[in-house]
């Protein structure tokens, strides 16, 4: 009897990656990537060449199907397996990324009459043009004391379904009215694979405001805009599927695209960060998974429902069925380090890094690591891209304090590394204080390669730190969900334990270092609250002036 395999497809912002995984042990057999032909449309609409307003970000949904057609068969070829041995397929997607569709799933952007209508296209997660709508949504929810608000840390994002939907209604009511459903791309791609629309519990909860089986009320939505009253009922409500469930069988058409067998299991859609938890064998309470890249997403399951101030959301079954899934985030991490390297580091560091055979990031890290804790005399706030958790405020900005005439570029770099670790500690402390204790940090994402940074996080959070043992965390996580949907494992946890990969307890907190960092964290905490909680709104005022003069 031959080995069985599943395929996980990870849909990122610019490309999709298919990974073939052995069901018995999670061995990664082969993978392939396809860059989306239309990439992200954030300056102009490709069909017409017309300019898009600021903060728009669209995609063409047909690009997602191209990933199935090209990357899946290529991954099978690279893996050197027989496609007949693949028993299931699953995907994970960016979220909230929304496709307006007809009743048969056809994207409105495919209708000849709407090809040049921006609102007919996919609104990508980072489409931020619905901020005015989000502001109204938050204000009204606060004024009315909407019960679902605390489930989202007290504030919802312009990226989410309500804001995107309200913008669509108000700016292009014709497209809005023509739309049968506003569908998460995470679910739309599953619909293309199995012919059935199943709404996954994860995005319905985190991005669609579904709590305890209910969406925001018609009264509330109608108060935002009378035409919006039935938005939830008409445009987003749909049968919910739990993560790891089977959404349907692969259609004959999708089988023909891929070479896979018709009828194999297609799992319910899912989200990149959330599938990574089982890929790192981290689905039990107390295990916080931090996916650290340009930004950091924190996901964690717990058996109790708690309201954690400033989290992104808590959703029943949001990570694994049967537990409450909590999500938090830091909106800038790796991209802050990249900004610093590109804009605040002199040439000599690049030259020396090249001579030493290191990346400039590693070189700066190594230089900075030589000094004892606090020797730089610096303290930074990691808010260059705003603060997602726990302040939920994108009007905040970065700070570097303590510079002298002898401060070096590597010292500034280290202060930024530390600031992001302090930001994580603030999230961990808030979870702990809210009845959701964090016992271990499991890191996935590109930054886990920086060993100094990992030890720093362990010291500053006083948590043991494990690292995922694959570069393909999300795709592996999807393959795990595919195996569960195919009935190969009874639960996502069980599949994760068999197929996931983690190096456990690689870093342990050093108590002497932790004590010293406590002193710096106390300073971070003080400035965090001073600038972040209204004592001095200088950051907001500076941003207001900036917007004003740029007009």
Candidates 162-170, 214-222, 339-347, 505-513; binding stretch for a copy of itself (CB under 8 A) = 339-347
Nearest distance from C-beta of residue 348 to a copy of itself, angstroms: 9
Asked if 398 touches a copy of itself (CB under 8 A), the answer is yes
Establish if 343 lies at the interface with a copy of itself (CB under 8 A): yes
Asked whether position 536 contacts a copy of itself by CB under 8 A, the answer is: yes
The piece of 26-34, 35-43, 181-189, 377-385 that touches a copy of itself (CB under 8 A) is 377-385
The rounded distance, in Å, linking the Cα atoms of 120 and 172 is: 9
Site for a copy of itself in 446-505 (CB under 8 A): none
Q: Can residue 399 be called a binding residue for a copy of itself (CB under 8 A)?
A: yes
Burial of 269 (0-12, 13-18, 19+ CB in 10 A): buried
Of 104, 143, 219, 548, the one binding a copy of itself (CB under 8 A) is 548
At CB < 8 A and 24+ separation, what contacts does 53-58 make?
A: 53/129, 54/129, 55/127, 55/128, 55/129, 55/131, 56/118, 56/127, 56/129, 57/123, 57/124, 57/125, 57/126, 57/127, 57/128, 58/118, 58/121, 58/122, 58/123, 58/124, 58/127
Kindly state the tokens that stand for 118: 């921006």
User: Residue 50, Cβ neighbours under 10 Å: how many?
Assistant: 11
- Binders of a copy of itself among 152-191, rule CB under 8 A? none
The stretch among 219-227, 260-268, 271-279, 368-376 that binds a copy of itself (CB under 8 A) is: 368-376
From 43-51, 132-140, 171-179, 369-377, span contacting a copy of itself (CB under 8 A): 369-377
Compare residues 317 and 334 and give the one whose CB is closer to a copy of itself.
Answer: 334
Whose Cβ is closer to a copy of itself: residue 1's or residue 405's?
405
Residue 33, classed as helix, strand or coil, is: strand
Q: Which stretch binds a copy of itself (CB under 8 A): 9-17, 269-277, 312-320, 328-336?
A: 328-336
For a copy of itself, the closer of residues 362 and 516 by Cβ is: 516
CA distance 100 to 515: 52
Task: Examine residue 512 and tell whether it contacts a copy of itself (CB under 8 A).
Answer: no
For a copy of itself, the closer of residues 154 and 402 by Cβ is 402
Instruction: Select the residue interacting with a copy of itself from 80, 342, 370, 534 (CB under 8 A).
Output: 342
- For the chain, how long is the longest CA-to-CA vector? 70
From the list 20, 19, 58, the residue with the least C-alpha distance to 39 is: 58
Q: Using the rule CB under 8 A, is 409 a contact of a copy of itself?
A: yes
Q: Does 405 bind a copy of itself (CB under 8 A)?
A: yes
Is position 538 an interface residue for a copy of itself (rule: CB under 8 A)?
yes
Among 261, 408, 503, 504, which residue sits at the site for a copy of itself (rule: CB under 8 A)?
A: 408
Q: Please, are residues 332 and 485 in contact by the beta-carbon 8 Å criterion?
A: no
> Is residue 433 at the binding interface for a copy of itself, with CB under 8 A as the rule?
no
DSSP label of 236:
I
Q: How far apart are CA 498 and CA 437, in angstroms?
A: 26
| Cα 450 to chain centroid, rounded | 21
- The residues, any chain, with a CB within 8 Å of residue 39's CB and separated by 6 or more, are 14, 59
Backbone angles phi, psi at 409, to 5 degrees: -65, -35
Report the residue from 377, 446, 487, 490 that binds a copy of itself according to the rule CB under 8 A: 377
**Alpha-carbon torsion (381, 387, 392, 393), positive or negative:** positive
- 253 Cβ contact list (under 8 Å, min separation 6): none
Exposure of 197 in the CB half-sphere (CA atoms within 13 A): 18
- Distance of alpha carbon 438 from alpha carbon 440, whole angstroms: 6
Q: How many residues bind a copy of itself (CB under 8 A)?
A: 54
Strand order through the sheet with 86-92: 28-35, 15-22, 5-11, 86-92, 265-267, 246-249
Q: Does 549 participate in binding a copy of itself (rule CB under 8 A)?
A: yes
Q: Which two tokens stand for residue 143?
A: 């004024």
Q: According to the binding rule CB under 8 A, does residue 345 interact with a copy of itself?
A: yes
The answer to whether 355 contacts a copy of itself (rule: CB under 8 A) is no
Contact between 236 and a copy of itself (CB under 8 A)? no
- Which of 336, 436, 441, 444: binder of a copy of itself (CB under 8 A)? 336
Least Cβ distance, residue 207 to a copy of itself (angstroms): 24
Beta carbons of 97 and 188 less than 8 angstroms apart: no
The binder of a copy of itself chosen from 104, 143, 219, 347 (CB under 8 A): 347
- Nearer residue to a copy of itself within complex by CB, 256 or 526: 526
Query: Which positions touch a copy of itself (CB under 8 A)?
Result: 332, 335-336, 339, 342-347, 350, 371-379, 384-385, 397-405, 407-409, 412, 516, 519-520, 523, 526-527, 530-531, 536, 538-539, 541-543, 545-546, 548-550
């Amino acid at each position: 009897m031959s080995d069985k395999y599943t395929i996980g497809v990870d849909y990122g912002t610019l490309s999709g990656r298919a990974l073939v995984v052995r069901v018995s042990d999670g061995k990664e057999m082969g993978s392939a990537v396809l860059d989306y032909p239309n990439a992200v449309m954030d300056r102009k609409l490709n069909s017409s060449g017309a300019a898009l307003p600021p903060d728009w970000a669209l995609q063409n949904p047909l690009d997602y199907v191209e990933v199935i057609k090209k990357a899946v068969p290529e991954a099978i070829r690279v893996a050197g397996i027989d496609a007949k041995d693949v028993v299931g397929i699953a995907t994970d997607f960016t979220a909230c990324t929304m496709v307006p569709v007809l009743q048969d799933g056809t994207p409105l952007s495919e209708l000849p009459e709407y090809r040049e209508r921006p609102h007919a296209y996919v609104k990508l997660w980072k489409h931020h043009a619905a901020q005015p709508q989000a502001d109204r949504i938050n204000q009204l929810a606060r004024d009315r004391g909407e019960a679902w608000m605390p489930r989202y840390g007290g504030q919802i994002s312009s990226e989410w379904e309500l804001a995107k939907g309200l913008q669509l209604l108000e700016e292009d009511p014709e497209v809005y009215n023509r739309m049968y459903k506003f569908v998460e791309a995470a679910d739309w791609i599953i619909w293309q694979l199995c012919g059935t629309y199943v709404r996954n519990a994860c995005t319905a909860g985190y991005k669609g405001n579904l709590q305890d089986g209910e969406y925001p009320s018609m009264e509330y939505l109608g108060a935002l805009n009378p035409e919006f009253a039935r938005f939830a009922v008409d445009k987003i409500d749909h049968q919910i599927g739990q993560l790891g469930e089977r959404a349907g069988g692969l259609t004959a058409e999708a089988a023909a695209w891929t070479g896979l067998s018709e009828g194999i299991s297609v799992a319910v859609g899912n989200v990149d960060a959330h599938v990574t938890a089982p890929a790192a064998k981290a689905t039990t309470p107390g295990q916080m998974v931090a996916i650290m890249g340009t930004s950091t997403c924190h996901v964690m399951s717990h058996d109790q429902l708690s309201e954690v101030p400033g989290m992104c959301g808590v959703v029943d079954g949001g990570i694994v069925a049967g537990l409450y899934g909590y999500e938090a985030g830091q909106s800038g991490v790796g991209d802050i380090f990249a900004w610093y390297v590109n804009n605040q580091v002199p040439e000599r560091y690049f030259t020396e890094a090249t001579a030493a055979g290191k990346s400039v990031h590693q070189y700066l890290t190594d230089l900075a690591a030589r000094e004892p804790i606090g020797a730089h005399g610096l303290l930074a706030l990691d808010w260059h891209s705003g603060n997602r958790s726990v302040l939920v405020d994108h009007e905040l900005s970065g700070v570097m304090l303590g510079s002298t005439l002898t401060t070096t570029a590597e010292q500034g770099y280290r202060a930024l590394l530390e600031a992001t670790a302090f930001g994580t500690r603030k999230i961990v402390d808030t979870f702990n204080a809210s009845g959701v204790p964090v016992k271990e940090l499991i890191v996935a994402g590109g930054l886990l390669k920086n060993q100094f940074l990992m030890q720093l996080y362990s010291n500053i959070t006083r948590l043991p730190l494990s690292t995922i043992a694959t570069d393909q965390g999300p795709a592996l996580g999807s393959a795990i969900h595919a195996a569960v949907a195919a009935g190969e494992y009874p639960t996502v946890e069980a599949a994760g334990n068999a197929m996931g990969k983690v190096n456990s307890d690689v870093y342990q907190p050093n108590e002497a270092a932790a004590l010293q960092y406590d002193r710096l964290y106390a300073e971070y905490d003080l400035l965090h609250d001073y600038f972040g909680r209204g004592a001095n709104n200088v950051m907001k005022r500076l941003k207001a002036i900036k917007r004003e003069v740029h007009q």
